[in-house]
């Protein structure tokens, strides 16, 4: 039998397979390069980038929870200039699309950053993280208000001609409204979900475990919520969807694809197994081969409800 075709396209970004690494869980690719073949995965999404270097939160920043983990890294990153100088050179040597995850604390930051990234040929696309507090509007999170989200997305849209992926926060009443707002404002694709806001407490110390008090829940625990949201959004929008949330195995990934995702991202699983993304991609290929499915596209949204 012919090898199954795993290639997919996300608004012009051609991926050899639908498995990417989730922002913040895979550094800048290099950290994991000895554990897997970076050219066997679909794309690398880099750690959330901001205009200026960002210190992030005090420690502890992570804590394990049942079936998941909380993180409150606080979006620590080197900033766009150091990214270009220190991180891009390695990524340039890898024949795999690089998608840059970015965020700002003001509208202007999003815009300025998108403009700078637009000029980098190594960057295949942008993934806009809108789960950040808008410091100018008293900390209201861009990603939980459709109007604010549309404003950010619209601005970034005008600042770049690169493929524009918007990453949705699950901490909302109506994920479909958020998705619609972002697509109307110019998103080429949507990725979901980011982390659910949670908290852990140290009984003995009578304190929150995380210095930041709350953090973002990721890992297998959130998979059912993520699957539900991907499915809901896939019924409502026509742009490609990238499914994220607790994907540990090819089976998990294929479930997201059935629910309507064109591609997926592997996040927390990278910590359990640094070669997880490659293993998931290989597992999808095996599954297609075993089931005589010629192209992964036959499974996208193939859920029968």
Partner 1 sequence: MQFKSMVISNVQVSPGYFRMRMTAPPAIVAATPGQFVMVRVRDAIDPLLRRPFGIFDLGTFTTEYTDCGRQTFCEILYKVVGKGTEMLASLHHGDHLDLLAPLGKGFAAGEPAEEKILVGGGVGLAPLYFLAKELAKTSKVRLFAGGRNKEDILCITEFERLGVETYVATDDGTLGDQGLVTQVLEKHLAATGGSKTLFACGPFPMLKAVAGIADRYNLECQVSLEGYMACGVGACLGCVTKGKNHSEETPDFRCVCKDGPVFPYRELKWD
Ligand X SMILES: Cc1cc2nc3c(=O)[nH]c(=O)nc-3n(C[C@H](O)[C@H](O)[C@H](O)COP(=O)(O)O)c2cc1C
283 is a contact residue toward partner 1 (CB under 8 A): no
Distance CA 190, CA 200 (A): 29
32 is a contact residue toward partner 1 (CB under 8 A): yes
249 is a contact residue toward partner 1 (CB under 8 A): no
Cα–Cα separations (whole angstroms), residue 269 to 43, 68, 88, 272: 16, 10, 24, 5
- Convert residues 12-51 into a mask of x (bound to a copy of itself by CB under 8 A) and - (unbound): ----------------------------------------
219 is a contact residue toward ligand X (CB under 6 A): yes
Q: Nearest Cα to 16, choosing from 35, 33, 37? A: 37
Pick one of 11, 56, 199, 249: the residue that binds partner 1 (CB under 8 A).
Answer: 56
Cβ nearer to partner 1, comparing 57 with 262 = 57
64 is a contact residue toward partner 1 (CB under 8 A): yes
Given the residues 80, 98, 114, 132, select the one marked as catalytic.
132
Cβ nearer to a copy of itself, comparing 3 with 304 = 304
- 182: annotated active-site residue: no
For 204, the token pair is: 């003995």
Note the residues at the interface with ligand X (CB under 6 A): 22-25, 47-48, 71, 73, 75, 101, 129, 167, 194-195, 218-219, 222, 244-247, 266-269
Note the residues at the interface with a copy of itself (CB under 8 A): 65-68, 70, 144, 171-174, 196-201, 203, 206-208, 213-215, 217, 219-225, 227-228, 231, 246, 251, 254-255, 258-259, 302-305
Q: Which residues are catalytic?
A: 132
């Amino acid at each position: 039998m012919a090898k199954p075709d795993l290639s997919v396209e996300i608004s012009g970004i051609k991926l050899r397979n639908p498995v990417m690494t989730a922002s913040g869980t895979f550094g800048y690719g290099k950290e994991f390069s000895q554990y897997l073949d970076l050219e066997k995965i679909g794309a690398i999404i880099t750690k959330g980038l901001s205009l200026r270097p960002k210190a992030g939160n005090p420690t502890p920043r992570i804590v394990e929870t049942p079936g998941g983990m909380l993180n409150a890294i606080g979006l620590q990153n080197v900033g766009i200039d150091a990214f270009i100088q220190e991180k891009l050179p390695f990524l340039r040597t890898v024949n795999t699309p690089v998608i840059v995850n970015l965020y700002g604390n003001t509208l202007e930051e999003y815009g300025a950053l998108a403009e700078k990234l637009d000029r980098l040929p190594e960057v295949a696309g942008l993934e806009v993280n809108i789960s950040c507090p808008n410091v100018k509007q008293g900390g209201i999170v861009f990603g939980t208000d459709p109007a604010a989200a549309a404003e950010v997305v619209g601005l970034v849209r005008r600042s770049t001609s690169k493929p524009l992926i918007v990453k949705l926060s699950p901490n909302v009443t109506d994920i479909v409204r958020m998705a619609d707002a972002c697509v109307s404002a110019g998103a080429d694709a949507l990725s979901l979900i980011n982390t659910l806001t949670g908290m852990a407490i140290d009984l003995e110390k009578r304190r929150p475990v995380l210095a930041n008090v709350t953090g973002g829940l990721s890992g297998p625990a959130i998979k059912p919520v993520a699957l539900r949201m991907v499915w809901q959004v896939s019924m409502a929008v026509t742009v490609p969807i990238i499914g994220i949330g607790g994907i540990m195995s090819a089976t998990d990934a294929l479930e997201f694809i059935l629910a309507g995702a064109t591609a997926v991202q592997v996040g927390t699983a990278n910590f359990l197994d640094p070669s997880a993304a490659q293993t998931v991609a290989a597992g999808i290929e095996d599954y297609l081969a075993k089931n005589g499915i010629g192209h992964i596209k036959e499974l996208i949204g193939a859920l029968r409800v």
